[in-house]
């Protein structure tokens, strides 16, 4: 049976080496029957901690390694990140952090790698107090190492927000976000689910803004799985819940979610609109649609129609014109770094323009299916101007039949939710 540290290392390797998504590996990559709650908590802390503080760990490793980071075997570098994280950011005693990491390295990577890891970690133990960190006088370098954000992103934030807001956002990105649940209201109210969570040994609070939301949920993992499997709720941030409200679903309407998988917003539309509201959920990925179909079945929704299609040409998939179309567009995800910290190491400045072009193509394709008097909602879980206001402005310039009804940007450091941009365009 692998230890928690070995599981965390395997997850780290898959995230950094294969581009896997951390949250999905943690949710679906551990068998609840073979990993108990204490081990799961340690795996989660280590795997998330390494991604949140990777830049800081790399700064330390570079200071105590006789080889450049670029020359290190990626498998060894990830092992060092895991070891240095335990050494500097957890309550694990120094000797235990070193011994456990070296032992794991010897078993998985061999004696030569273990010898190197041992040398770097022992150098770090002896020299950490004298390590020369960047000062605030060089703010980009300070933010880069203090908050573990890549330099390009730090400089982007500084230009966009200024020093104080940029630092607050960096800090918020590294915070552990609270768990929010969207209650499946056809199967019970928020008050009823809150009472059941307490009965199952947990706690939560009613949302101050949304009647179907529970915030700051704390519940044993197995009990949470049971509630999710029973279709009582879904895991969803409150900023994501607001997107469905922007489309204002009503009975009798036809709505389209043009980028629907994995289905959080599409199923929310179906619930808010009621049984007499029909929702067509379209996505280009068959595997992601399979997950969406499972969600629809689990939540017991009978007013959803799931279709495979490329929404850049939405008219090829849906013949009818709709009262409302949602484009929750693929984006950099930089507004969700609290939950997906690996994205800050995966994205680069070149991605922003490429994703913005895709978002514009999706908006043009979706607009063709909005009836006169209907609405088009565009959302993206990010804050870069290329992916938000630039796309919105370009769409309005190209599609004169639409007018801007409103748009807003939510921020982790200001609103304590995921960073989310939402714009609504009404067709005249």
Q: From first to last of its 428 residues, what are the pLDDT tens digits of the chain?
A: 789 999 999 999 999 999 999 998 998 778 777 788 889 999 999 999 999 999 999 999 999 999 999 999 999 999 999 999 999 999 999 999 999 999 999 999 999 999 999 999 999 999 999 999 999 999 999 999 999 999 999 999 999 999 999 999 999 999 999 999 999 999 999 999 999 999 999 999 999 999 999 999 999 988 999 999 999 999 999 999 999 999 999 999 999 999 999 999 999 999 999 999 999 999 999 999 999 999 999 999 999 999 999 999 999 999 999 999 999 999 999 999 999 999 999 999 999 999 999 999 999 999 999 999 999 999 999 999 999 999 999 999 999 999 999 999 999 999 999 999 999 999 99
Please compute Rg for the chain using Cα positions: 23
The catalytic residue positions are 381
Report whether 47 contacts 5 (CB < 8 A): no
Best CA proximity match to 417, nearest among 207, 228, 264, 269: 207
Q: Which residues contact 18 (CB under 8 A, 6 or more apart)?
A: none
Work out the angle between the directed axes of helices 349-367 and 389-398 (0-180°, nearest 10): 40
Dihedrals phi, psi of 212, to nearest 5 degrees: -100, 10
* Cα 299 off chain centre by: 22
Name the residue with tokens 């294969």: 18
Which residue in 230, 231, 234 sits closest to 217, CA to CA? 234
Non-local (6+) Cβ contacts of 302 within 8 A are 275
Q: Are 398 and 367 in contact (CB under 8 A)?
A: no
What values do phi and psi take at 263, rounded to 5? 115, 0
What number of residues does the chain have?
A: 428
**pTM of the shown model:** 0.94
Query: In this predicted structure, what is the pLDDT of residue 243?
Result: 98
Q: Give the span between the Cα atoms of 154 and 309, in whole angstroms.
A: 37
Q: Answer whether the bond into residue 287 is a cis peptide, omega within 30°.
A: no
pLDDT at 30: 80
| Segment (H or E) for 338 | none
pLDDT at 197: 97
Q: What is the pLDDT of residue 1?
A: 74
Q: How far is CA 91 from CA 2, 96, 127, in A?
A: 22, 10, 18
Look at residue 221 in the predicted model and tell me its pLDDT.
Answer: 86
Matching residue, tokens 């204002």: 248
CB-based contacts of 5, cutoff 8 Å, min separation 6: 42, 46, 82, 100, 101, 104
For 2, 9, 81, 99, 337, the CA distances from 96, given in Å and listed in that order, are 17, 16, 15, 5, 30
**CA distances from residue 59 to 64, 285, 322 in whole angstroms, order as listed:** 9, 38, 52
Written as six digits, the tokens of 357 are: 């072009």
pLDDT at 331: 98
């Amino acid at each position: 049976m692998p230890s928690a540290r070995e599981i965390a290392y395997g997850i780290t390797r898959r995230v950094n080496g294969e581009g896997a998504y951390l949250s999905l590996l943690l949710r679906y990559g551990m068998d609840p029957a073979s990993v108990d709650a204490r081990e799961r908590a340690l795996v989660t802390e280590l795997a998330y901690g390494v991604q949140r503080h990777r830049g800081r760990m790399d700064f330390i490793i570079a200071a105590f390694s006789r080889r450049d980071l670029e020359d290190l075997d990626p498998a060894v570098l990830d092992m060092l990140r895991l070891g240095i994280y335990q050494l500097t950011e957890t309550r694990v005693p120094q000797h235990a952090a070193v011994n456990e990491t070296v032992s794991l390295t010897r078993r998985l990577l061999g004696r030569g790698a273990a010898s190197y890891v041992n040398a770097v970690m022992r150098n770090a133990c002896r020299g950490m107090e004298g390590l020369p960190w960047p000062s605030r006088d060089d703010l980009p370098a300070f933010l880069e190492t203090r908050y573990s954000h890549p330099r390009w992103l730090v400089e982007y934030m500084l230009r966009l927000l200024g020093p104080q807001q940029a630092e607050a956002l960096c800090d918020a990105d590294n915070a552990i976000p609270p768990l929010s649940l969207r209650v499946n209201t056809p199967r019970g109210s928020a008050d009823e689910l809150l009472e059941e969570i307490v009965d199952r040994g947990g706690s939560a609070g009613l949302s101050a803004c949304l009647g179907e939301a529970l915030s700051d949920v704390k519940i044993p993992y197995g009990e949470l799985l049971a509630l999710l499997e029973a279709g009582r709720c879904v895991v969803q941030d409150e900023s994501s819940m607001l997107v469905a409200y922007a489309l204002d679903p009503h009975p009798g309407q036809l709505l389209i979610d043009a980028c629907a998988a994995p289905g959080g917003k599409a199923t929310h539309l179906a619930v808010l609109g009621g049984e007499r509201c029909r929702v067509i959920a379209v996505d280009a990925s068959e595997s992601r649609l399979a997950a969406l179909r499972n969600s629809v079945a689990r939540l017991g929704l009978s007013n959803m129609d799931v279709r495979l299609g490329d929404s850049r040409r939405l008219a090829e998939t849906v013949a009818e014109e709709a009262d409302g179309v949602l484009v929750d567009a693929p984006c950099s995800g930089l507004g969700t770094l609290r939950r997906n910290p690996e994205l800050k190491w995966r994205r680069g400045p070149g991605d922003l323009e490429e994703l913005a072009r895709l978002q514009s193509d999706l908006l043009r394709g979706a607009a063709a299916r909005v009836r006169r008097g209907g609405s088009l909602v565009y959302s993206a879980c990010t804050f870069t101007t290329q992916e938000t206001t630039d796309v919105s402005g370009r769409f309005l310039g190209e599609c004169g039949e639409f007018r801007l009804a409103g748009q807003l940007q939510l921020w982790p450091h200001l609103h304590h939710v995921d960073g989310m941009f939402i714009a609504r365009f009404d067709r005249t």
